[in-house]
Amino acid sequence: MKTRSAKNKGKRLQNKVAYSLSESFPEFIFKSTTMGESGVDIQVYPRGFGYSFECKNQESLNIWKSLEQAEKNTKQDENTILVFSKNRSPIYAVIKFDKLLKLLDIERKTIKKWWVMKYKENELRGKRVIIEFQDKKLSGIILGIYTRNPLSVRIKLDANQGFDYATSNIKDIEFI
C-alpha cells in the first residue's frame, strides 16, 4: 500500500473515533490530529477528559509497539487507549486491565442502582427520601420515578419539578 493511501486509511479511523466520542461526550470537543503531527491522535478540549487515544488502522498490527507509542504520547494524568481496526473489521480498543476493572465496577454499580429503582418504583412512591448526589442533596416525597435506561432516571419530588439524573451520580438514597 502506498504511503498516502495508508495515511488516508489511518485518518479515516481517527475521524470515525473523534466523531463517535463527540456524539457520546458532547461536553468535550474531539479533534483528529493532522497526519504527521507528533503526539496523540485525538485531541480533546477542554483538558480533563482523562484518556489519550492512539489510532491504528492496519492489516498487520504490532500491538506492543503500538502500545509503547500510545503510552509515550500519553500525559501523566491520562489513561492510554489504543484503538485499532483493519479492512472490513470492527473497531477495537485496548486499555490497561486495572482501568478495565474500574470501568466495569462503575457500570455494575450504575446498573444495580437502576434495577433497584426500577423494580421498587411502586414501593417508593409516597416515601420521604433524601437523595445524595455527587454535588448536592435533595429531599422530599417521591411522587414518581421514571426510568429511561440504566444510565438515566427521572425523579419527581413534591418540593421540586422532575429532574433527570445520571444514576452514576446518585451516591445514596436515605429513607426518612
Of 16-30, 79-93, 162-176, where does mean pLDDT reach its minimum?
Answer: 162-176
Q: Which has the closest alpha carbon to 163: 151, 173, 154, 171?
A: 154
Residues of the chain with CATH 2.30.30.100: 110-175
Residues of the chain with CATH 3.40.1350.10: 3-95
Instruction: Read off the pTM.
Output: 0.60
**CATH entry, 3-95, from 2.30.40.10, 3.40.50.261, 3.40.1350.10, 1.20.58.1610:** 3.40.1350.10
Q: What is the mean pLDDT of the chain?
A: 78
Q: pLDDT of 106-147, one tens digit each?
A: 776 766 666 565 556 666 667 777 777 777 777 777 776 655
Whether the CB-CB separation of 108 and 98 falls below 8 Å is answered with: no
**So what CATH class is 110-175?**
mainly beta
